[in-house]
């Protein structure tokens, strides 16, 4: 849903990307540093009931998630390994956020813990479905809830919960993430099914006898 804003988002990051390149920073270093920052923020702040601080910190570091890619494009440093590392560490960051929210629920709300863990698994299935389809040469980049959508909804729910809404905000937000992920998985399976079918032969016009 939010992927349509990716181009504009990349343009906003361009000045900072150029500055970091001039300073000698590499896209790989930015990828690793951003992931470490998200993991530490999520696993230290969320379990300690610092939902507002955790949401803001994770949100800020995730805003820089596209910075490494922008740096790679501007500096002509795009590599297959860089794309692989970025995608792999994205899963690490996602896992830390949902595990942190699940840890918040321990002793406070078992429902939040369950929804957070189920959302994590469902999100991983969405990503795996795309990766596996691409390995077969199929394009299934479709779906209601992509990674950005899942993280925005989850962090927004945590932020609202931290401002006083409590458990109910997290239950609603994580339920939306879970449902959206399930729907997206179904959409990608359907897209893979269509892509796997042999192309239909064009119908030949019937000849009429004169």
Concerning whether 90 is annotated as a catalytic residue, the answer is: yes
Q: Which residue among the candidates 68, 90, 94, 149 is catalytic per the annotation?
A: 90
77 contacts: CB under 8 Å, gap ≥ 6:
26, 27, 71
> How confident is the model at residue 109, as a pLDDT?
95
Nearest one of 81, 55, 34, 65 to 152, comparing CA atoms: 55
> How confident is the model at residue 210, as a pLDDT?
46
Q: What is the pTM of this model?
A: 0.86
> How confident is the model at residue 205, as a pLDDT?
63
> How confident is the model at residue 72, as a pLDDT?
84
What is the 8-class DSSP label of residue 141?
A: -
- CA atoms within 13 A of residue 126's CA, in its CB half-sphere: 28
Within a 10 A sphere around the Cβ of 84, how many other Cβ atoms?
10
| Residues of the chain where predicted confidence (pLDDT) is lower than 50 | 209-210
């Amino acid at each position: 849903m939010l992927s349509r804003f990716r181009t504009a988002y990349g343009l906003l990051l361009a000045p900072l990307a150029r500055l970091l390149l001039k300073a000698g920073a590499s896209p790989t270093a930015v990828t690793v540093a951003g992931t470490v920052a998200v993991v530490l923020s999520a696993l230290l702040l969320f379990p300690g009931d610092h939902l507002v601080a955790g949401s803001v910190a994770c949100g800020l570091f995730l805003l820089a998630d596209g910075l490494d890619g922008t740096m790679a494009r501007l500096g002509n440093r795009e590599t297959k390994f860089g794309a692989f590392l970025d995608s792999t560490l994205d899963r690490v960051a996602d896992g830390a956020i949902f595990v942190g929210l699940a840890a918040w629920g321990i002793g406070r709300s078992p429902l939040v813990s369950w929804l957070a863990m189920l959302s994590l698994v469902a999100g991983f299935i969405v990503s795996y479905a795309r990766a596996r389809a691409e390995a077969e040469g199929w394009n299934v980049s479709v779906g209601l809830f992509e990674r950005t959508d899942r993280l925005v909804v989850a962090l927004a729910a945590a932020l609202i919960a931290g401002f006083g809404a409590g458990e109910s905000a997290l239950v609603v937000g994580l339920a939306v993430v879970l449902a959206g992920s399930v729907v997206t998985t179904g959409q990608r399976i359907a897209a893979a099914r269509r892509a796997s079918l042999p192309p239909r032969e064009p119908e030949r016009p019937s000849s009429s006898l004169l």
